[in-house]
Structure 1
């Protein structure tokens, strides 16, 4: 009786429809206060107004702030500051009416006193900032009306308060002026400073630096850079004149201040940046480094795009230098000269890459260091070297950099991970020493710059270089386990499982294998599996979970032997996730905390790691936030989508079978909540590579970027099947046949699967596999292929337009898995190109491919469409104008979701075809008739 009642209740629930999505909420920006006493997070509907909530660690709601966003709590945990966004409806209406920017509602700023519960709205703002270690001050720019009377008043005040701009009173209507306001959270006092362009806090809340541009007719000599002392409420003009002031940089103690400034004429094509150093004794900034400084290479200058950063001890300043660029001849007339790209076979990189990276190349800078003690400037890298890597403190002498040979740069057209030389660089004298030649893999500088650790992808091994002795020591050699990806199924060499962390005593490193964590001492004497092979014995992946605290130079990946270590876990057999605790001071210190049929994400901690917040989810359970201190018990903080229980949802189960060639296979089967084994269901297979690791993942109902929205189709009476696909080099298409087709055939043994109403859907690599499968079988009643490659011979020479890179590497070494060039094995390229077999297609197929696709050239979708159209096969092509590989614009996502539903409903459920399926939409009707109506 109860079973019948529950089934009836489930059957009464409506399915998710297209009106559901906008109100479905998600959680973002969860943060603890410093001690963990408070937690705050933002709840956002897919469309609508956000809400920010502030709670204490006992789950008591202290503040619910409608439209609150971009929030933070002060370091002393007394004030909660948040932006208040305008109403979504108002903003939408303003856009519809095409209002000007200054007519649209602005963000405002709210300050909440946690102790007194007093909330103050500071009004509309243009922007706001706080110091990193914020306790007392915030600053924001606000547009206010200045009347003649106020002008006169300001003029009087300016005689005694130099922070107020002198102005000439005018008898005119009120005018608007942007003012910088420094607000004291404790006293509510404000300081107004006019005509400020940009402003910056130091980390320690001692100073605010701002610049004024001034005007052409300004006779008050206001233009320049100013330093405002927050405690003393005094300001100093530290650099005079109009200019571009940037990279305002304090040392950790706020005792040194440097900045970049270009004071050349505004119309000058060549910017002349100099580094200025503020002298506290003289209250003025003087030029520290310019292009004439000793140490700067000939025809080089200070880069306006380089960073400025102090070492932790403030004895060194790291800067950027660059060659003085060529300047365009402005006397030339554009329309009288050709616009041409010249591709040269010996260029380092393809012209398409050069064009994509041109702005970045123009802004590139090369590392140099300035020593304050001896006033010496030392270049550290030049055009022959890559990025410089220092330690977190930058106090140590040694840094590392890389150099790539020209031949390797050219080879990047078809090969990833090309060899590079690894160099040590002395920040004391600039001396360079090569420590590894033709290295393929990664190099890591230890936190104290005592060692460099290498992973060699070709040897699948770890080693290290001792900087003091110059000795190289093998780390992983001689061990029975592999430290390379054991499931690697692409032709490229396998990657590593990465570094788990560095030993806090500076004597070793922790490295992951597939399941466990190992400790290797730098002297090579200790090789210890700290998880005692528990992971491998039980097929449980264990990973160290390390947290970042609020210290300015905290090394977040230190592992302390004396502190219990939190590990995350993933069981490869059951797909369960959980947590373990590892006490490294004990012999059997590994203890399971929890493993469950859930996925845990969004894990954060307070500074002392005494309280944690995380989300927990599975297919049925939305990933709400929880609080915990030990992970064994969780306190639920949110319940943001209670409406889910009102809809027909679904269930998941792991399916296992043998493929035709005897391989063990797995996949996820999704069933509707009201599943009835006496009914027959249409089924859609959605795939990419592997999905079963997400058996317990939640699938939010949201408009799709072209993938299959599983929760929608399951709720609407479909079965959905996501099989894992395992590949062998040279035959990716056959792998899809082996796993997808066999999995679908396996499921047809169940009477509730309708073998005549099966479909497949995939996006990108999944889209390619869909295109391949329909040339090899007619078992599917419908197919949807998003951004597919159908012709590997033409795609091989194509360009990934977003990056400008050639696609050749993909076919030879990575995802396409052919493992050969087009000329070495032409037959493989043809075998795996669905285009050559389109005459075999009997399945109606919809293609989505967009003209701004930056990954797969959209002519691939056109080749597929025109081939099937020529063969008079039922085919549709959707091109969302200007959109990308995966749809980014929400209106397009909403549209394609409706069309996917209509497409599969027609071919799998027999519903009437929508107009776009029957007749298409003609160009003259574009924007007038979307073809979504259905004639019953």
Structure 2
């Protein structure tokens, strides 16, 4: 590979001496940036990305890949580059401050600041801004000529009140006084009349009833179709939605009726963008949705309802169809159509989809559901959930999935002009997979029905797979009661799955019905050989299929295997065994979101991770040649979001390291065969290389980092108590002085050592310590990998973490009396356990910890509604047995049962809306420790889930974590909440974060 000077290393070399740099504070969070929304033009000449602060106004940047042009759009987002590479269109958000002020004033939705639209001709400086837009769309595959945008409701025009002169004002006052005098006389006369005729004379006269024109609706707004080449615009009123065909030759416009004009009815309009001709294809409906166009933009299918009243409890939708040349759309399917089972109707939630050749129309059917009885009074009817042992899913899971189930559709198809419906999906074949070539006769259907009860303790439901004919709906069984997923090849020729019991991949030939073991001759494991759960290890997975289903590419731990789906040709190691030989893990990166398979001439990208050094890189490979070593590799991390120009060989990605904020980088790879280069390398004749010609940094984020005392990171290896070696990440301050002693925090979960070169932002905490913040303020942080044994999750953490702590007590720059541990969720459990096994830590913080495995075992993960038994037996908790088989293991591994042994101050964070770990687990541990007189605190953020979401709460937790560890590890004064607590009477008034004048409880 040609060696190039990389600006990434120049940036690293440019870091100045660290003397007198500022420590990070909680005030820096908002301005720290991320690089988001990356796009590249089809020709590879232009890149669009956003620079986004954690809080505040982002900036959208349009930049040439050779750095010859750069244009910034303040607050730009949601950008699109037109297919012809000529224009960038994006939205512009209102100012962050303006939106914040409007929220403070509690303005209504219509009064809030609105987005604008920006249109930029790339390479030029001018920007066309259009205010108050809801949305915009461009064709996916067109000339780049057309743009449509929907505007917000027009602001009301305030009435113009003319200013009267002094004479006019005097006359107005006299006129008002005269009017009031007449009103007084009228009221006096009515009162006198009421004395003789009664009070009925005071009633207002009846007004003539006016005919009701219908309930008011939310009217559509103005849609603008703009020709980007000429600037010409055409406007369409009352538009609620709109859709371009793929090539942009057709624009579908949906309009609403008018509240003011009863003659203006809801309509669906077909606009030919080339000719400007408009055809109304459907009119006078209550609701229309789920629009689907064929690839050529000549056929339209949609779902509509036009027969019910707007307040009807039960509505029946129908499938309508239109193609160019028809007078109007015709109804093709309703619930009475031939082929629809009794009790089913057309689904309004499934978008109709045409096959690639336009000859098949797929759509959804759903069960007719009984409407709610509105005659029942809520306060007189029972409200309950009924759990039954034969239910497929437990009631909590059913309730979580309720909306999904109510909207579930079962796929059906129409073939050509035949109006007979072929129902493909059903309750026992609910998942239908359309291959890329969806013109084929057979589709894959899968279902877990009948096998779901076991998922309560297995963690998965076994799957049945069928092939279903699109011509007659008949089924062929592929495999039943299989663990894992079935997938269909892009051309629809094969079904593939991994059999965990046999540890091999199998294919089913659609044409012959044969089942073939295609990996039996591969001698290395295709499953995760490092997996330590008490269950069958999972496979490394499928990389991709080759064009026309010629090969399927499969991963082992390191390499990639090219396998014949017919099993006739022996598998070959596509990466030539380079991965396992050098401990390099190769994983394919899909750079084109529309890619379905790998073609013969494609240039593909692999991300490379060296298992030993943790360095990463990219390997660029042409499918025309043999696998070769050409790419970039070094002491950095490559981001996973790698994009490639559709019609060029430019790649865009980010590079980062522990001390370098992400750098947006473009890589150019030559396309011609370089015979001289080939000869120079001495490779076999005919091999096609892709020569890397340039790597250019486009933008280096967070230049302000240079002003702060940052961190360094190194890989540390040590021997655990069981004699085995482990590794972890040691973070030190940039100004580290080996002559000083530092407090040390151990943070852990499972394994993080592969993230050696990951960049970590200063950011408010969702649940864990922010490593840059703590290290910048004079802490050492160590992140050890945890190795687990069946039935011993707690002791496994002790073996890994405490052995690491003992190792570091031998270092002269570690203050062994000021060490602490911190973790969240599974890490929180391990912290809660460790403080029952050792007193060597000066403080500990456990976020959302399980403290009692016996009570948690049978509980519910409320976020998903699933039972937790499988988690303890087979997955993360790794017990390996049921509670009644080995109750001793559940008790041994539960911190609660050894709460009396805790001497370490413990801070627990557990939120009252936690859907992953039951909130009562934190309460059980807190109340036990409180009763025992231990130093324990519980932070409970109201309405928050497992990890904090609201930024205000994240900032608050960050402050408290700093105060907590500063107090116990640095001897800082205790804040009021830590020293005295905050009573409920002060909630919302006093947050207790002010520091005490003297230390409280600093002795262990």
Structure-1-length-normalised TM-score: 0.93
Q: What corresponds to 1:700 in structure 2? A: 761
* Structure 1 residue 45, shift from structure 2 partner: 0.8
Q: What corresponds to 1:374 in structure 2? A: 418
Q: Structure 2 CA distance, aligned partners of 1:115 and 1:529? A: 46
Match of 2:855 among 794, 800, 807: 794
Q: 2:486 aligned with 1:440, yes or no?
A: no
Match of 1:389 among 433, 448, 473: 433
**Secondary structure, in 3 states, of the residue corresponding to 2:379?**
helix
Q: Give the 3 Å change call, closer, same or farther, for CA 733–148 of structure 1 in structure 2.
A: closer
Match of 1:757 among 781, 805, 818: 818
Q: Structure 2 CA distance, aligned partners of 1:559 and 1:276? A: 37
Q: Give the 3 Å change call, closer, same or farther, for CA 422–627 of structure 1 in structure 2.
A: same
* Structure 1 residue 147, shift from structure 2 partner: 7.5
Q: Give the 3 Å change call, closer, same or farther, for CA 337–397 of structure 1 in structure 2.
A: same
1:893-904 paired onto structure 2 within 5 Å:
893-904=954-965
* Structure 1 residue 449, shift from structure 2 partner: 1.2
For the 8 Å contact 1:440–1:458, the answer to whether it is kept is: no
For the 8 Å contact 1:667–1:723, the answer to whether it is kept is: yes
Q: 2:667 aligned with 1:628, yes or no?
A: yes
Q: Structure 1 CA distance, aligned partners of 2:510 and 2:108? A: 61
* Structure 1 residue 878, shift from structure 2 partner: 0.7
* Structure 1 residue 647, shift from structure 2 partner: 0.3
* Structure 1 residue 542, shift from structure 2 partner: 1.2
* Structure 1 residue 492, shift from structure 2 partner: 2.1
Q: What corresponds to 1:268 in structure 2? A: 312
Q: What corresponds to 1:546 in structure 2? A: 590
Q: 2:348 aligned with 1:304, yes or no?
A: yes
- Once the two structures are superposed, residues 175-233 of structure 1 have per-residue CA deviations (whole angstroms, 9 ceiling, x without a partner) of 99832222222222222222222222222222322223325664314222222333333
For the 8 Å contact 1:758–1:781, the answer to whether it is kept is: yes
Q: 2:968 aligned with 1:907, yes or no?
A: yes
Q: Structure 1 CA distance, aligned partners of 2:550 and 2:319? A: 39
For the 8 Å contact 2:62–2:122, the answer to whether it is kept is: no
Q: What corresponds to 1:155 in structure 2? A: none
- Once the two structures are superposed, residues 292-325 of structure 1 have per-residue CA deviations (whole angstroms, 9 ceiling, x without a partner) of 1101001211111222100000000111111211
Greater mean alpha carbon deviation, residues 54-63 or residues 808-817 = 54-63
* Structure 1 residue 583, shift from structure 2 partner: 5.0
Q: What corresponds to 2:51 in structure 1? A: 43
Q: Structure 2 CA distance, aligned partners of 1:214 and 1:450? A: 48
**Secondary structure, in 3 states, of the residue corresponding to 1:761?**
strand
Match of 2:262 among 199, 219, 226: 219
For the 8 Å contact 2:521–2:570, the answer to whether it is kept is: no
Match of 1:522 among 565, 569, 579: 565
Q: 2:921 aligned with 1:864, yes or no?
A: no
Q: Give the 3 Å change call, closer, same or farther, for CA 15–148 of structure 1 in structure 2.
A: closer
For the 8 Å contact 1:146–1:176, the answer to whether it is kept is: no
* Structure 1 residue 566, shift from structure 2 partner: 2.7
Q: What corresponds to 1:590 in structure 2? A: 628
Q: Give the 3 Å change call, closer, same or farther, for CA 873–309 of structure 1 in structure 2.
A: same
Q: What corresponds to 2:60 in structure 1? A: 52
Q: What corresponds to 2:875 in structure 1? A: 814
1:224-623 paired onto structure 2 within 5 Å:
224-263=267-306, 264-406=308-450, 408-524=451-567, 525-548=569-592, 554-556=594-596, 558-582=597-621, 586=625, 589-601=627-639, 602-623=641-662
Q: Structure 1 CA distance, aligned partners of 2:76 and 2:16? A: 42
**Secondary structure, in 3 states, of the residue corresponding to 2:84?**
coil
Q: Structure 1 CA distance, aligned partners of 2:828 and 2:890? A: 17
Q: What corresponds to 2:25 in structure 1? A: 17
* Structure 1 residue 38, shift from structure 2 partner: 0.5
Greater mean alpha carbon deviation, residues 503-512 or residues 858-867 = 503-512
1:175-194 paired onto structure 2 within 5 Å:
178-194=221-237
Greater mean alpha carbon deviation, residues 849-858 or residues 201-210 = 201-210
Match of 1:144 among 154, 161, 171: 154
Q: Structure 2 CA distance, aligned partners of 1:147 and 1:570? A: 62
Q: Give the 3 Å change call, closer, same or farther, for CA 316–681 of structure 1 in structure 2.
A: same
- Once the two structures are superposed, residues 598-645 of structure 1 have per-residue CA deviations (whole angstroms, 9 ceiling, x without a partner) of 100131111035001110011001012011114675211112211101
Q: Structure 2 CA distance, aligned partners of 1:521 and 1:753? A: 57
Q: Give the 3 Å change call, closer, same or farther, for CA 841–784 of structure 1 in structure 2.
A: same
Q: Structure 2 CA distance, aligned partners of 1:443 and 1:617? A: 37
* Structure 1 residue 567, shift from structure 2 partner: 2.0
Q: Structure 1 CA distance, aligned partners of 2:25 and 2:156? A: 52
Q: Structure 2 CA distance, aligned partners of 1:535 and 1:8? A: 37
For the 8 Å contact 2:82–2:138, the answer to whether it is kept is: no
More relative contact order, 1 or 2 (CA 8 Å, 6+ apart):
2
* Structure 1 residue 528, shift from structure 2 partner: 0.6
Greater mean alpha carbon deviation, residues 478-487 or residues 24-33 = 478-487
* Structure 1 residue 145, shift from structure 2 partner: 5.3
**Secondary structure, in 3 states, of the residue corresponding to 1:772?**
helix
- Once the two structures are superposed, residues 92-113 of structure 1 have per-residue CA deviations (whole angstroms, 9 ceiling, x without a partner) of 1221222222332211111112
Give aligned pairs, total: 899
For the 8 Å contact 2:335–2:346, the answer to whether it is kept is: yes
Q: Structure 1 CA distance, aligned partners of 2:780 and 2:124? A: 54
* Structure 1 residue 118, shift from structure 2 partner: 2.8
For the 8 Å contact 2:852–2:894, the answer to whether it is kept is: yes
Q: What corresponds to 1:86 in structure 2? A: 94
Q: Structure 2 CA distance, aligned partners of 1:482 and 1:82? A: 48
**Secondary structure, in 3 states, of the residue corresponding to 1:10?**
coil
Q: Structure 2 CA distance, aligned partners of 1:774 and 1:144? A: 63
For the 8 Å contact 1:226–1:237, the answer to whether it is kept is: yes
Q: What corresponds to 1:103 in structure 2? A: 111
* Structure 1 residue 115, shift from structure 2 partner: 5.1
Q: What corresponds to 2:987 in structure 1? A: 926
For the 8 Å contact 1:578–1:600, the answer to whether it is kept is: yes
- Once the two structures are superposed, residues 836-876 of structure 1 have per-residue CA deviations (whole angstroms, 9 ceiling, x without a partner) of 11111001111111111111111111111111111111111
Q: Structure 2 CA distance, aligned partners of 1:147 and 1:721? A: 63
Q: Give the 3 Å change call, closer, same or farther, for CA 124–403 of structure 1 in structure 2.
A: closer
Q: What corresponds to 1:75 in structure 2? A: 83
**Secondary structure, in 3 states, of the residue corresponding to 1:629?**
strand
Q: Give the 3 Å change call, closer, same or farther, for CA 874–382 of structure 1 in structure 2.
A: same
Q: Give the 3 Å change call, closer, same or farther, for CA 532–760 of structure 1 in structure 2.
A: same
For the 8 Å contact 1:460–1:494, the answer to whether it is kept is: no
* Structure 1 residue 68, shift from structure 2 partner: 1.1
Q: Structure 2 CA distance, aligned partners of 1:104 and 1:562? A: 52
Structure-2-length-normalised TM-score: 0.87
Q: 2:730 aligned with 1:669, yes or no?
A: yes
- Once the two structures are superposed, residues 698-736 of structure 1 have per-residue CA deviations (whole angstroms, 9 ceiling, x without a partner) of 110010101121110010000000000011111110110
**Secondary structure, in 3 states, of the residue corresponding to 1:343?**
coil
For the 8 Å contact 2:333–2:419, the answer to whether it is kept is: no
Q: Structure 2 CA distance, aligned partners of 1:94 and 1:14? A: 36
Q: Structure 2 CA distance, aligned partners of 1:214 and 1:310? A: 29
Q: 2:835 aligned with 1:774, yes or no?
A: yes
For the 8 Å contact 2:521–2:571, the answer to whether it is kept is: no
**Secondary structure, in 3 states, of the residue corresponding to 1:20?**
helix
**Secondary structure, in 3 states, of the residue corresponding to 2:629?**
strand
Match of 1:689 among 750, 754, 776: 750
Deviating 4+ runs (over 6 angstroms): 146-149
Q: Give the 3 Å change call, closer, same or farther, for CA 632–499 of structure 1 in structure 2.
A: farther
Q: Structure 2 CA distance, aligned partners of 1:473 and 1:388? A: 23
Greater mean alpha carbon deviation, residues 48-57 or residues 522-531 = 522-531
* Structure 1 residue 478, shift from structure 2 partner: 3.6
- Once the two structures are superposed, residues 327-383 of structure 1 have per-residue CA deviations (whole angstroms, 9 ceiling, x without a partner) of 111111111111111111111110001111111111011111111243332011211
Q: 2:166 aligned with 1:128, yes or no?
A: no
Q: Structure 2 CA distance, aligned partners of 1:383 and 1:484? A: 32
Q: Give 5+ residue unaligned stretches, structure 1.
A: 1-5, 150-174
